[in-house]
């Protein structure tokens, strides 16, 4: 795994940052597993040497830019009204962009782990900073990264409806795909 060296910026439209949710509770069958795209974000990646352990990563995501792209499962297909309602709930009941405009990740160490990278860092959501480890693969300058985020670790209350019978699972998956290049 020899990455290109240099300083790189990732973000839309040439890279994607996705949040995948799942559902739980007695009413889980009625809900949807969601794929949500963060539409305004950027990542700065610094690879000063071919030795990836000297690299650093900083990501900043606009909390007012989460858009529902897909909804799998559910009794009924996800409608446009459902999407709008979910996006409103993300903004107004979960992330509060007026008070907390950004989510940030700053790496503290990069380690090799087999054919993957383990990227340790600090994730800040709603003013709460906690350590997290993301996993990434590099393939000819293309990067695919992923991390599991447990919402309650950052003080977030997973969304629920129908008096708690339908709930968002506490753990969400975050994925990033893009190309390190000019």
**How do the pLDDT tens digits run along the chain, 182 residues long?**
566 788 999 999 999 999 999 877 555 566 778 899 999 999 999 989 888 899 999 999 999 999 999 888 777 788 899 899 989 999 998 999 999 999 999 999 999 988 899 999 999 999 999 999 999 998 887 899 999 999 999 998 877 666 555 567 889 999 999 997 65
pLDDT number for residue 45:
93
Q: Is residue 97 part of a domain?
A: yes
**Distance between CA 53 and CA 35 in Å, rounded?**
31
pLDDT number for residue 2:
65
**Distance between CA 115 and CA 141 in Å, rounded?**
14
Q: Is residue 119 part of a domain?
A: yes
Q: Hey, how many other C-beta atoms are within 10 angstroms of the C-beta on 69? A: 14
Q: Is residue 120 part of a domain?
A: yes
Q: Is residue 65 part of a domain?
A: yes
Question: Which backbone phi and psi does 64 adopt, to 5 degrees?
Answer: -100, 20
Q: Which alpha helices (H) appear in the chain, and where do they start and end? A: 80-89
- Residue 12 domain boundaries: 6-179
pLDDT number for residue 144:
96
Torsion of CA 162, 166, 172, 177, to 10 degrees: -90
Residue 48: give its domain's CATH number: 2.40.128.110
Q: Which of 23, 59, 68, 48 is nearest to 132 (CA)?
A: 59
Q: Is residue 161 part of a domain?
A: yes
Q: Which of 60, 21, 16, 57 is nearest to 175 (CA)?
A: 16
pLDDT number for residue 30:
63
Q: Is residue 15 part of a domain?
A: yes
Q: Is residue 1 part of a domain?
A: no
Residues 148 and 173: beta-carbon distance below 8 Å: yes
Q: Is residue 50 part of a domain?
A: yes
How many domains does the structure of the chain reveal? 1
């Amino acid at each position: 795994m020899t990455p290109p060296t240099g300083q790189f910026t990732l973000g839309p439209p040439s890279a994607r940052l996705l949040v995948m949710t799942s559902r739980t509770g007695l009413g889980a069958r009625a809900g949807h597993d969601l794929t949500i795209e963060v539409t305004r974000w950027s990542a700065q990646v610094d690879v000063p040497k071919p030795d990836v352990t000297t690299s650093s990563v900083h990501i900043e995501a606009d909390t007012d830019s989460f858009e529902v792209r897909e909804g799998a499962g559910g009794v009924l297909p996800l409608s446009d009204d459902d999407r709008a309602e979910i996006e409103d709930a993300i903004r107004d009941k979960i992330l509060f962009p007026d008070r907390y405009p950004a989510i940030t990740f700053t790496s503290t160490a990069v380690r090799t782990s087999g054919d993957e990278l383990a990227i340790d860092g600090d994730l800040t959501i709603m003013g709460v900073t906690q350590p997290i480890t993301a996993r990434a693969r590099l393939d000819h300058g293309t990067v695919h990264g992923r991390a599991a985020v447990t919402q309650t670790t950052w003080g977030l209350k997973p969304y629920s409806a129908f008096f708690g019978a339908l709930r968002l699972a506490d753990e969400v998956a975050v994925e990033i795909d893009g190309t390190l290049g000019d």
